[in-house]
Amino acid sequence: MGEEVNPLDRALQILDLDQVDEDTFTGQSLSQLHGRVYGGQVLAQAIIAAVRTVEPTRMIHSLHGYFLRPGDLNEPITFAVERLRDGRSFSARRTHAIQFGKPILSMIASFQEDQPGLEHQDEMPKVPAPEELDSSVAIFGALDHPIAKFFYRNGAFDMRHVQQPLFTGPAPKKQAVQAMWLRARTEVPTDQATQRALLAFACDQVMLEPIMRTHGLSWVTPNASIASLDHAMWWHRDVDLNEWLLFSQETPSGQGGRGLGTAKVFSRDGELLATIAQEGMLRLKAELA
């Protein structure tokens, strides 16, 4: 038997897209328990496809994407990039992720040359250090359950919640905020294209948790249907997933079977690195009866 590939290396492998022509790429998918392509994966792949059509001196600073259809794990994904504009400082790209001739994700992204400018940012909240909190890796490793075993083997990131995590049940207190530290379990390449794509990959796992926390739900609530609808990201400064990053999260609204989750991502020394927003569908089966 060959040596087992660690989870982060598997994620990096699927980000290494095959190039078909100047603006077209193909990629594969990671295995998933629910049988559908993980949204963070296809979003990260769409970023990499767009990056490959832009001058390396221009770095992605924002994206807006819509998850349109569930992805098939066994079908390769085609990434078709449209070059919308290349200006003096900015470039814009649209990427469609396609299976069976139909888009499963549509994303538009903006890139900018590294330039000086005015600086300000929000302050990082005061929370316990990651060393004081329970590790998701340890939690999954201690549970004798097939879902926990899957995430222990396949989770590329260590997550440490300030509030009680929602992996095995709801938190005792309903609240619309949460804070969580996140770091890659093994070393991430230092180039910013990979780092920023992996931040998009990672954050899709947790963006809807404040909505769940508000309503006393968890990842194992039996009658809950949860799916990402759209995703927006703004990168303000360089990211390093080899170090602990703090997600300061909240949910301003939930209505109509949809909820909005937001996150500010800070470095450990207090720099605001990114701001993220995601709307998701969250329904209870009793509501649909």
If DSSP codes are grouped into helix, strand and coil, which group holds residue 218? coil
> Which residue in 99, 110, 205, 278 is the catalytic one?
278
- Residue 221 is given by DSSP the state -
> Which residue in 228, 240, 248, 249 is the catalytic one?
228
144 classed as catalytic: no
CA 277 to chain centre: 11
Give Cα separations from 196 to 62, 68, 112, 205 (angstroms). Answer: 10, 22, 14, 15
Q: With b meaning 16 or more CB within 10 Å and e meaning fewer, what string describes 234-261?
A: ebbeebbbeebbbbbbbbeebeeeebbb
228 classed as catalytic: yes
Instruction: Note whether 214 and 236 are within 8 A (CB).
Output: no
> Which residue, 80, 16, 86, 20, is CA-closest to 48?
16
In the numeric block, the tokens 């009793």 are attached to: 286
Q: Which amino acid is at 55?
A: E
> Which residue in 110, 136, 204, 240 is the catalytic one?
204
- Residue 288 is given by DSSP the state H
Question: Residue 112: which H helix or E strand, with range?
Answer: strand 102-113
Question: Residue 136: which H helix or E strand, with range?
Answer: helix 136-142
Q: With b meaning 16 or more CB within 10 Å and e meaning fewer, what string describes 89-104?
A: eebbbebbbbbeeebb
249 classed as catalytic: no
Query: Which residues have a catalytic role annotated?
Result: 204, 228, 278
